[in-house]
Amino acid sequence: MLRTTTHLRALTPRDLPDLNLLLDRDPLVNLFVRNRVDATKLQARWLGGQVWGYFEDDELVSACHAGANIVPVVATPGAIEAFAEQALSDNIRPSSIVGLRDAVLPLWKRLEAQWGPARSPRLDQPFMVLDRDSPVEPDPRVRRVMLDEFDTVYPSCVAMFTEEVGVDPEAGGRSGYRARVAQLISQGWSFAIIEDDEVLFKTEVGAATTSVCQLQGVYVRPDLRGRGIAAAAIAGVVQQVRATVSPVVTLYVNDHNVAARRAYERVGFEHTETFASILL
């Protein structure tokens, strides 16, 4: 019996056809990496890291985005071990490990002794999908944020990030996070309810292809929470996003956030996979 040979290396633009085939095995779950690959074409100067490929007999069977976020793709047990060894060898320090729980947890088990303890391990995050308009009546106040409304929306983005991630996105300087918020607004990927220059609700499309997109940063002003605003607002976002960005909408949420899960379920999102995130 011939023995399978394996190796790991950084992927280059020449590997794009094979990587795209791998990502297409689950275009919903692999959206983050697909978005990064489409945007950078694996050009190192734009990628801000690497995408590792794990090969068996010269066939690409797994991959891993290795930058500010570690994101495994179709990760086999052998690939998980190889990714852990490479991460430790490269002495990188990402801000998170994110992806399907079945890949993230064994990867973290291998890395925890050197990288731990985790600042915030989130081990059960329902990954939810909606491929039709919501049965909930959409809130007509939901609309795209205009670029000249940046200063109005930005404080809500900072507040949401700080509340959800547990760190101030401006801690290392304001320019990077401000640029990201401005980019999402200019792309038409930022949605909100704004009244009297106050943000009542906001969310963004964090990544998208022509077939699927992912919502992030869902925020309701604290004093308005518990009043049923979120479901109708998200229904409005879904309606607009499906018409202008992508027909399938995804998101993932912390299992313990019962209020958010109930709102998403009411809107029509269905739990199809389970993610995990290790915040470092």
Indicate if 134 and 247 belong to the same structural domain.
yes
| Domain's final residue, options 91, 116, 141 | 116
269: CATH = 3.40.630.30
> How far is it, in rounded angstroms, from Cα 185 to Cα 60?
36
Specify whether 146 is located in the same domain as 216.
yes
Domain that holds residue 198: 130-275
DSSP string computed for 153-209: HHHHHHHHHHHHHSS-TTTT-SHHHHHHHHHHHHTT-EEEEEETTEEEEEEEEEEE-
Domain total for the chain?
2
Mean pLDDT value of segment 122-127:
98
Q: Residue 73: in which H helix or E strand, if any?
A: strand 69-73
- Do residues 134 and 267 make contact, with C-beta atoms less than 8 angstroms apart? yes
Of 116, 143, 162, the last residue of a domain is: 116
* Residue recorded with tokens 């404080």: 155
pLDDT tens figures, 203-251? 999 999 999 999 999 999 999 999 989 999 999 999 999 999 999 999 9
Q: Are residues 109 and 34 in the same domain?
A: yes
Residue 184 amino acid letter = L
Specify the pTM: 0.94
244 located within any domain:
yes
What is the band of 166 on the pLDDT scale with cuts at 50, 70, 90? confident
Query: Do residue 95 and residue 143 come from a single domain?
Result: no
- The answer to whether 24 touches 73, Cβ cutoff 8 Å, is no
Residue 80 counted as domain residue? yes
Do 178 and 96 have their domain in common?
no
SS3 269: coil
CA dist 9 and 12 (Å) reads: 9
